[in-house]
Structures are given as structure tokens and as C-alpha cells.
A and B are shown apart, each in its own frame.
Chain A
Amino acid sequence: MTETSMDDKCLYKLIQERDMIQMMVESFTQSVTEGNNLFEVPTKAFVEHHNELIRRYISGEPFISSYFCCAPEIYTAMDLPWSTFLTPAFTGMLNPDYQDEVDASGQLFATDLCTIIRQAAYYVVADMVPPPTAIIAMMHPCDGINVVHQVMANDKKWKDVPVFGADPPYWADERSLDYYTDQLYEMVAFLEEHTGLKLTEDKLRETCEESNRAYAIWDEYSQTRRAVPCPHGGGMGLQVFGTLSTNLCGKPEGTDWVKDVLEDAEALIKQGKGAVPEEKIRLLWFDVLSLGTTTDLFPWLEEEWGAVIVMDMFGYAPYSQLDTTNMDTMMKSLAARALNDVPMIRQARGLADLFLVDITNIVKEYKIDAVIYPGYMGHKDGTANIGMMREKCRELGVPFTTIGMDFYDDRYTSPDEVKDKLSKWFESMGHTPKSG
């Protein structure tokens, strides 16, 4: 069976995603726009990763479904490619048929269910993604992710795919870390049983050390964004997160790439160059981002208002270094990362306090002028924090706003409505737009 001759609908999304990202690779390769070359490595890695998944599916070799918050260093160390059910929804906005697919999923699931979760479930039940060898379920930070895995586990075509979920405690103390570490050991045993691959201490150490190198550079890069003007625009933090915690997690290519990103930022700072010629408003975007925000909204903010997303929830990842002393220390520090460091999981899975702690730290450290909580329709836990966030921002002396958006279906709140709302907010602060 080959990719082109096969009559297998379930490869549809993987091939579609790969081909769309391949087009982006080509555009970055040929681009003369300053900074665009930085996107070439992660997009190429995405394409190569998808090619490997497709190859493995066709040849019957193991691959799994999992997530960035489930200790992906373990998968790299086991040479086990993984995909996430959520990727098609993230990249879906590049697909001209995407809104039809959103409508189709709305026929099966309640339309107030997080769109990305709904899409992920839809692609499974509609047989549009290949069943993996095994599933490592993400069990936090929200109810939706729990639901999507229950739907998969009970789907007629998927019910024989073995599923494991590490049970996440609500707390972040030693007891919770020990409990979750034990869960990760169970996860490894499950993977070894169902994929036939083995995790060795040496290989895990090698991967963790590489991951530590990359994350240390990421941390340095994050700090460059404290500079005024901020050297890069709003999408770069997400890009670094996505690359280092998925396709290039624990791989030297990821480390080399983030080093390039850091050097680029440092060079721009030396030249006194920012993401925009005249930086007027430094923003914190405290929620998930999407292609729509990074390719449309953020450039508009920069061009029209001189407003730069200096930091966002996914770019702000104060990762702790993994302790590579022995197997137990590695597993425990991977557990700590999975519970307490990974963006969005860190803030949303437990008590609301880290929403407030992170906002406070970012506002102070990154000289933030104003905070946007976009209020993604899927983040019901976050939207129940808006009062607390508003009061915290008031205490910090920075304006706060919330919008109410669906990043994966812009019919929920249209881009024009979002821009209009933000424009009025900026005007209320005394700013004037470039066009007016």
C-alpha cells in the first residue's frame, strides 16, 4: 500500500495537513521578509514528522496519539512518533472546507463544546484520522479533553485501540508529584507493552539533557522579549512552544533552531529594532492562540496600533530543568513539568491562583501596558476567572479586557468585531490608530 494508491480515508487529515504546511515551508524558504526564515525549520519538521506518521501507518509500525503535556521526552527517547488529535483543528483554518467540517461536528456534539475538542472527536468518528497503535490520553486541564477520549475509547472503529491516561491530581505538592510520577511509570509500561519498544535510562537521559539545553535557551529567548521594543511579534512564543514540545522535543535540531531564534532576537535588540517600527502598547495575551490570531489579528494589532503581544500564555513557560541523575529523578521531574510547567496545563488544571501569579509576574517582568484575556469559548475554567483577573490587573494598575472568541471558528465573534472591540478599548486608554 502506498500513500497515493491507497483508498484509506483515515489518512485524509494527515496528508491534508502535511501538504498545507509543505506550502508554508516553500513560502518561508522563498520569502525575503526579515525573520520569516525562522519559521522554516519548525514547518519542515512538521512535514517530516507527518511523513513518518503516514509511513508508519502504511507499514504497520507503531505510532501513538498523545499530547505536549504527557512527558513527550519519553516518546522521543523511545523513538516513538506521536500525533495529537487536536492538530487537524489547529491547522484546519488553512483548509478551505474547514467551516463545513465545524458545522458537521456541530451536528454530532453540542456546539458549546470547545470547538477544537469537537473537531478532534469529529475527525475520529468520521474516520478521517488513522487509528494509532495506542493512545496516551490527556486527562487535564479541562472537561472537554476527558470527553473526547471517552468518545474515542467507545467509538466502534477505535474501541480496540488501547488507551492509557495518567491520572492528574489537582494539587502541585510532593504527594501529587509522587502520585503522578507513578502514573508516568505506568504509562511507560503501557507503551512498552503495546508498541514493543523499550525505554532505556541512557536514551531518556540523552533526550532529557537535550530538552534541558533547548528549554534553557527558550528561557533566555523569553527574557529577550522584555526588551523595549520587543524584538519579535506575537506568534513567536507559540512557535517556540510548539516546536520544542512536539516535533523537535528533546532533539538537537530543536536546540539548534531555538538558538537561532535567540540569536536573531539578540541581534535585533542590539540594532534597536522591534517587531514594529514604533512600539506603543505592550500586551499580554493570556490564553491559547491560533493561526488566525497569529496571521491576522496580531499583525493588525502591530500595524494599526503599534501594539505588540510581548508575552502570551504559551510563550511564557517557566520550565524547570529535568534532573537527569537517575531514572527516578528524570521521571519525577518529567512529572513536575507535566503538571506544573506546561503552558495552559500549568494555569488551568488546578486552583486559579496561577492565573493570577503568572499575570502578576508577566506584567511586572515584561513591562506590560495592558492585559487581554480573549476568553476562548472552550475555556470554561478560565472564563470563570475573569473577575479575579480583572481585580488583579486593577491592583497592578494595568487595563484588562476580555473578548469572547472562538479561535477555530471566526463566525463566533468575527475578526471585525474583535478588532472593533480592541480598537475601542485602546481608544479608551488614549491611543490613536495609525489609520485614524
Chain B
Amino acid sequence: METSVKSKNLDAFRTAAHTIVNPELQKWMDQGGKVMGAWCCYAPEELITAAGLVPFRVRATGSTGTEEADAYVSSINCSFCRHAFNMGLHGEYDFLEAMVWLNNCDHVRRMYDNWWRKVNTPLTKMMSLPKFTGDKQVAWWREELVFLKEALEKHLGITITDDKIREGISIHNEKKRLLRQLFELRKSDNPPITGADSLATAVASTAMPPEEFNKMLKELLEELKDTEGIKDYRKRLLLVGSIFDDPSYVKIMEDIGGLVVADSECFGTRAFAVDVDESIKDPLDALAKFTIKDRQHCPRLFGEYKRRSQYIQDMVKEYKVDGVIGLRMTFCDLWAGEYYMLNLDMKEAGIPFFYMDREYLMAGTAGQVRTRIQAFMETL
């Protein structure tokens, strides 16, 4: 199953998803631009852009092992963290000027402790993300944003004005809107783009200079208008989970007839389902409210389960989904509870659901993944 359009921009997005430093990012750095890494989609990319840096969502694409990292962390730590840390130890993230973490899960927050001790990233910063979504948490997070802003100002010798932050919000809101436009094309009976290419585009959005990405995505959206839709699929699937950045994984599903039409993933729609409210006067208030209250949350946030479940159920209807697949990173406690609850909810709603554990790298498990997805699809 392929996207039929021949597009150099889509090719560039595919390349970006399969590399760490893509040509557009390299060009930015060649021109003296700096890049800031982020370990989670809750990191304020708008503020990073306002500081004149390109936000880059950390992945471990291309990693082949965790040998060095394993000297510091254990085999019961998430394989994404181990691979990404291993790449840091190998110098593959030396292009970063700064890196930000949140205490979003036990594995990632410890990567901060290990990273600043072992990897020479000039500025490393941890942020304290609340576990609830009330007004007091919004106020807390706003202060955390101020601390990050001040750290960036001091490190870079700049002033980040409110206007700059508003500009950052505007750029990333446009990115979100364009990504939503792209993803909504998949509601059609014959979507013009595969799930694998949609994911590649979403991943590219976290790895390229955002204005350049927006320009390229606009062009791709134009190209897709006249594209023949995909007809050769058997079932429409929705994916749910945490870090999932490898389009090859989706390709396996699509090669056996399971067209991925929707997702609730953090490299997917959860990151761009909602805009930052530009009508709020203070841009940091707007960012804080977006992160704590408005955006689609992952299981890290308490009291939001019903909204998360409803988000999936709504997409099942809108995208005419035949089955929902949960992809849990082995050793992820947050998603262990989530899938238990989703399993009950989906059963009650009459939505076929199954979940499987996965390692960050697909290497060596492709056959197993194919067999399990195939078996699930046969039940639909």
C-alpha cells in the first residue's frame, strides 16, 4: 500500500522520519541556527521557537544498540530511553545546543539525571509537569515556563519578548492546523495518504525548522488534492500509545491490508489536536493553559481518562475505524493501566481492541508484529 502522489516534500518528510539530522535541519545549522532537543511533546516548542532555536523531538531513529547506555541503566528501563541515551553517549546528539526534559515518566525523567552527567549538551533543563489539570496547575506550569524562558535568555544572551512568544505560538498553531488538515483527509473512504506517510509527516514536523515545514506541508496538501485515494485495504485501524515514531511499523500493518487512518499517539494527533489560544493576552498564560487544560493528554495526567477514552471513541466514528490497536512500550507503567481501562471501555462500546507490547526498535520483531496484527484483523 502506497501513497500515489509523487512529491519531493513527502520524500523529504520520509527522510526526516528515518534520520536524526535531516537536510532541512542541517541547512538551518549550516546557517548558524541552533537546535534544542525535547524529550516529550509537552515541552513548549513555541517558547523554544521564540528563543530562535529549532525544537527537535528526541528519537532514537537509526540506533542499533544500547551497549553503552546499559552500563548506566537497567534492562527494565524503556528501550526508547536506552537507545536515545546510547546515541547521546555516542555523540549523535552533539548537534544540540540545549535539551529539555519533563518529569513525564519514570524512565524519561531519569534520562535527565544521566544525560547531564554524561553527555555534553551545553544547556540541560528539567521542568516539573503537574499531575492534575486544574487552575493551580496552570499557574504552576506558567512559572515553569518562566524558568525555562529565563534559562534560555541567560544561556543565549537574548531577551524573549512576549511578541516573540506570540510569534512562536502562531507558527506552531499553523503547523497544528496543517497537520490536522492532512490527518483529516484520512476520514475519506479512499484516503490520499497512507498511515505510514502521515506518521512520517508528523515526525518531520518535530525535526525541521517549523516555518520551512509549514511551507512544505502546505504544498503537499495542494498536491494531495488531485491524488487518487487508497482503495486496496481491508480494514481501517486506529493506533493508540506513547512514543511511536517509526513509519516502517505502520507499513507492516498497511502491507497486510490494515490502513491506519487515525491515532491517539504523542507523535500523532495528541500533539496537534488543539491550538494554543491566541486570544489570551499573556502568551505564557496561553501556553500554560494549553499544556495543562486544553491539549489531549496522555495517561500521565490524572483525572483525564474519560476524555482520553472519548477522544478515541469519537475518532472511531469519524474515521470509520474497524479496530483499535494499542502499542505499549514494554516496561511502561502508565500505559499498562491505560490499556486495561481502554479494553473495558472499548468492549462496552463494541469497538474491537487489542494491544501488544513492543520494543522501540522493530528490528527482529517484524514477523511477530505482522502475525499479531494479521490475527487481529481476521477477527474484525
Interface residues of A (CB under 8 A from B): 108-110, 112-114, 117, 121, 137, 139, 142-144, 146-151, 153-154, 165, 167-171, 175-176, 179, 182, 350-353, 375, 377, 380-381, 383-388, 402, 404
Among candidates A146, A175, A176, residue contacting B302 with C-beta atoms closer than 8 Å:
A146
CA distance A232 to B128 in the complex (A): 40
* Contact assessment for B106 and A167 in the assembled complex, using a CB-CB cutoff below 8 Å: no
Chain A residues near B114: list those with CB within 8 A: 352, 384, 387-388
* Contact assessment for B77 and A384 in the assembled complex, using a CB-CB cutoff below 8 Å: yes
B-side interface residues, number (CB < 8 Å): 49
Chain B residues near A385: list those with CB within 8 A: 110, 113
Chain A residues near B336: list those with CB within 8 A: 109-110, 112-113, 144, 147
Extra inter-chain contacts (9) besides given A168-B131, A381-B106, CB under 8 Å:
A110-B328, A113-B333, A144-B333, A147-B337, A148-B337, A150-B305, A377-B76, A384-B110, A386-B73
A142-B106, A380-B106 are contacts. A151–B131 as well, Cβ < 8 Å?
A: no
Query: Lowest 10 CB-CB distances: which A-B pairs, in order?
Result: A387-B72, A147-B337, A384-B110, A170-B128, A352-B113, A383-B74, A110-B336, A143-B333, A381-B106, A113-B336
* Interface: B320 (CB within 8 A): no
* Contact assessment for A384 and B81 in the assembled complex, using a CB-CB cutoff below 8 Å: yes
Among candidates B81, B113, B131, residue contacting A167 with C-beta atoms closer than 8 Å:
B131
Complex: chain B residue closest to A179, CB-CB: B140
CA distance A150 to B339 in the complex (A): 12
Most buried by B among A149, A380, A385: A380
Chain B residues near A165: list those with CB within 8 A: 131-132, 302
Among candidates B72, B76, B109, B136, residue contacting A388 with C-beta atoms closer than 8 Å:
B72
CA distance A114 to B117 in the complex (A): 28
List, sorted by A's number, 18 A–B pairs whose CB atoms are closer than 8 Å. A109-B336, A112-B331, A139-B131, A139-B302, A143-B300, A147-B334, A148-B337, A151-B340, A169-B140, A170-B129, A171-B128, A182-B136, A351-B113, A352-B113, A380-B110, A380-B333, A381-B107, A386-B73
CA distance A375 to B73 in the complex (A): 11
A143-B334, A384-B106 are contacts. A153–B76 as well, Cβ < 8 Å?
A: no
* Contact assessment for B76 and A112 in the assembled complex, using a CB-CB cutoff below 8 Å: yes
* Contact assessment for A149 and B302 in the assembled complex, using a CB-CB cutoff below 8 Å: yes
* Contact assessment for A384 and B107 in the assembled complex, using a CB-CB cutoff below 8 Å: yes
Among candidates B71, B76, B306, B338, residue contacting A383 with C-beta atoms closer than 8 Å:
B76
* Interface: B341 (CB within 8 A): yes
Chain B residues near A144: list those with CB within 8 A: 333, 336
* Contact assessment for A142 and B333 in the assembled complex, using a CB-CB cutoff below 8 Å: yes
* Interface: B65 (CB within 8 A): no
* Contact assessment for A380 and B107 in the assembled complex, using a CB-CB cutoff below 8 Å: yes
Chain A residues near B126: list those with CB within 8 A: 170, 351
* Interface: B273 (CB within 8 A): no
Complex: chain B residue closest to A139, CB-CB: B131
* Contact assessment for A402 and B74 in the assembled complex, using a CB-CB cutoff below 8 Å: yes
* Contact assessment for A143 and B76 in the assembled complex, using a CB-CB cutoff below 8 Å: no
* Interface: B91 (CB within 8 A): no
* Contact assessment for B334 and A384 in the assembled complex, using a CB-CB cutoff below 8 Å: no
* Interface: B198 (CB within 8 A): no
Chain B residues near A402: list those with CB within 8 A: 74
A154-B306, A170-B103, A381-B110 are contacts. A114–B333 as well, Cβ < 8 Å?
A: yes
Chain B residues near A139: list those with CB within 8 A: 131, 302
* Interface: B247 (CB within 8 A): no
* Interface: B105 (CB within 8 A): yes
CA distance A112 to B337 in the complex (A): 11
* Contact assessment for A167 and B132 in the assembled complex, using a CB-CB cutoff below 8 Å: yes
* Interface: B100 (CB within 8 A): no
Inter-chain CB contacts under 8 Å: number: 138
Interface residues of B in 108-140 (CB under 8 A from A): 109-114, 117, 126, 128-132, 136-137, 140
Among candidates B76, B77, B337, residue contacting A151 with C-beta atoms closer than 8 Å:
B337
* Interface: B143 (CB within 8 A): yes
Chain B residues near A148: list those with CB within 8 A: 337
* Interface: B357 (CB within 8 A): yes
* Contact assessment for B337 and A121 in the assembled complex, using a CB-CB cutoff below 8 Å: yes
A169-B128, A175-B143 are contacts. A112–B330 as well, Cβ < 8 Å?
A: yes
Among candidates B73, B109, B341, residue contacting A150 with C-beta atoms closer than 8 Å:
B341
* Contact assessment for B341 and A151 in the assembled complex, using a CB-CB cutoff below 8 Å: yes
CA distance A383 to B340 in the complex (A): 25
* Contact assessment for B357 and A380 in the assembled complex, using a CB-CB cutoff below 8 Å: no
* Contact assessment for A154 and B72 in the assembled complex, using a CB-CB cutoff below 8 Å: no
Report the minimal beta-carbon distance from A253 to chain B, rounded to whole angstroms: 35
* Interface: B303 (CB within 8 A): yes
* Contact assessment for A386 and B340 in the assembled complex, using a CB-CB cutoff below 8 Å: no
CA distance A214 to B62 in the complex (A): 56
Complex: chain B residue closest to A110, CB-CB: B336
Chain A residues near B130: list those with CB within 8 A: 167, 169
CA distance A154 to B21 in the complex (A): 43
* Contact assessment for B337 and A404 in the assembled complex, using a CB-CB cutoff below 8 Å: no
Report the minimal beta-carbon distance from B326 to chain A, rounded to whole angstroms: 11
Chain B residues near A112: list those with CB within 8 A: 76, 330-331, 336
* Contact assessment for A167 and B137 in the assembled complex, using a CB-CB cutoff below 8 Å: yes
Chain A residues near B77: list those with CB within 8 A: 380, 383-384
CA distance A63 to B117 in the complex (A): 46
Chain A residues near B339: list those with CB within 8 A: 110
CA distance A171 to B340 in the complex (A): 31
Chain A residues near B195: list those with CB within 8 A: none
CA distance A175 to B111 in the complex (A): 24
Against A, the Cβ 8 Å flags (1 = close, 0 = not) of B318-344 are 000000000010111110111111000
Interface residues of B in 66-101 (CB under 8 A from A): 71-78, 81
* Interface: B299 (CB within 8 A): yes
CA distance A143 to B81 in the complex (A): 16
CA distance A384 to B103 in the complex (A): 14
Among candidates B73, B140, B303, B340, residue contacting A108 with C-beta atoms closer than 8 Å:
B340
* Contact assessment for B333 and A384 in the assembled complex, using a CB-CB cutoff below 8 Å: no
* Contact assessment for B76 and A150 in the assembled complex, using a CB-CB cutoff below 8 Å: no
Among candidates A113, A179, A386, A388, residue contacting B74 with C-beta atoms closer than 8 Å:
A386
Chain A residues near B302: list those with CB within 8 A: 137, 139, 146, 149-150, 165
Chain B residues near A110: list those with CB within 8 A: 328, 336, 339, 357
Chain A residues near B73: list those with CB within 8 A: 383-384, 386-387
CA distance A32 to B287 in the complex (A): 66
* Contact assessment for B106 and A143 in the assembled complex, using a CB-CB cutoff below 8 Å: yes
CA distance A387 to B73 in the complex (A): 6
Chain B residues near A351: list those with CB within 8 A: 112-113, 126
Report the minimal beta-carbon distance from A135 to chain B, rounded to whole angstroms: 12
Complex: chain B residue closest to A152, CB-CB: B337
A121-B337, A142-B333, A179-B140 are contacts. A352–B131 as well, Cβ < 8 Å?
A: no
Complex: chain A residue closest to B137, CB-CB: A167
Among candidates B72, B129, B332, residue contacting A386 with C-beta atoms closer than 8 Å:
B72
Interface residues of B in 123-170 (CB under 8 A from A): 126, 128-132, 136-137, 140, 143
Chain A residues near B129: list those with CB within 8 A: 170
* Contact assessment for A154 and B305 in the assembled complex, using a CB-CB cutoff below 8 Å: yes
* Contact assessment for A146 and B74 in the assembled complex, using a CB-CB cutoff below 8 Å: no
Interface residues of B in 289-327 (CB under 8 A from A): 299-300, 302-303, 305-306
